[in-house]
């Protein structure tokens, strides 16, 4: 059900469906990576993150969706996560 919801979100957001990410994907070591690991990789493998390249608005919408499903992210950590994702996995990367 979670996969279906994520796929529906991506289709609705205009992001094309992608093949499954490699299991060996690694996150870019940069400021904010530990905050992202602490919150996001509890449920998602790094490949789910590294396979996407989105704007800050789209990353924010995706993180907001995870928060609505129960992820506990402080306002400060939210800003760090979105900044990390946009800098390292933004549309121009």
CATH number at residue 85: 1.10.760.10
| Mean predicted confidence (pLDDT) in 4-17 | 45
Domain presence at residue 12? no
Domain presence at residue 16? no
| Per-residue three-class SS string for 33-71 | HHHHHHHHCCCCCHHHHHCCCCCHHHHHHHHHHHHHCCC
Domain presence at residue 63? yes
Domain presence at residue 13? no
Q: Is the pLDDT at 21 greater than 90, yes or no?
A: no
pTM of the shown model: 0.74
Domain presence at residue 33? yes
The more confident residue out of 67 and 18 is 67
Domain presence at residue 8? no
Angle at 82 between CA 26 and CA 14, to 5 degrees: 85
Please return the burial class of 78, using the count of CB atoms within 10 Å of its CB with bins 0-12, 13-18 and 19+: middle
Domain presence at residue 82? yes
| Mean predicted confidence (pLDDT) in 13-21 | 48
| Mean predicted confidence (pLDDT) in 57-86 | 97
Domain presence at residue 69? yes
- Domain range spanning residue 77? 25-89
Give the count of domains, the chain. 1
């Amino acid at each position: 059900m979670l996969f279906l919801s994520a796929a529906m979100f991506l289709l609705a957001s205009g992001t094309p469906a992608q093949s499954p990410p490699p299991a060996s994907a690694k996150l870019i070591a940069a400021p904010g990576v530990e905050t992202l690991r602490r919150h996001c990789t509890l449920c998602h493998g790094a490949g789910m993150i590294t396979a996407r390249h989105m704007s800050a608005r789209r990353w924010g919408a995706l993180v907001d969706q995870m928060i609505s499903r129960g992820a506990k992210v402080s306002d400060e950590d939210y800003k760090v996560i979105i900044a990390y994702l946009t800098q390292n996995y933004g549309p121009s990367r």
